[in-house]
Amino acid sequence: MAAHILIVDDSPTDARLVKNILEGQGYQTSEASNGEEGIQKAKEIKPNLIIMDVVMPGLNGFQATRKITKSPETSSIPVVIVSSKNMESDRAWGLMQGAKEFLVKPVKRDQLLETIKKLLS
């Protein structure tokens, strides 16, 4: 069965880009447009992996990542932050929140797929 990946991003354009890359590789995808919805869907569908944006209204990606990775219900789900924030401090903070990887937008197709493959194996 294909791995299920949850895409959490408030930008429909960015979410669609990632969705197209993933579905083109046979992954099943779901989407959430903010951190709260991302946490809710993570609990409901238990995806194999989560792609998380950082800058979103309400709960940001760092906060949502921390809640997902610290909750016993969802802590086993790897989170990959994909953000336009590309300071080393953002990367370090993202990893401290529990993210397994931090990629910078615009994300490169091969880099995204390689990261996902590594985390799902």
| pLDDT of 1 strictly over 80 | no
Pick the closest to residue 116 from 29, 12, 45 (CA basis).
29
Domains of the chain: 4-120 (3.40.50.2300)
Q: What confidence tens digit (pLDDT) does each residue in 5-59 have?
A: 999 999 999 999 999 999 999 999 999 999 999 999 999 999 999 999 999 999 9
Q: Which residue has the tokens 């760092």?
A: 62
Distance, CA of 44 to CA of 54 (rounded, Å)? 21
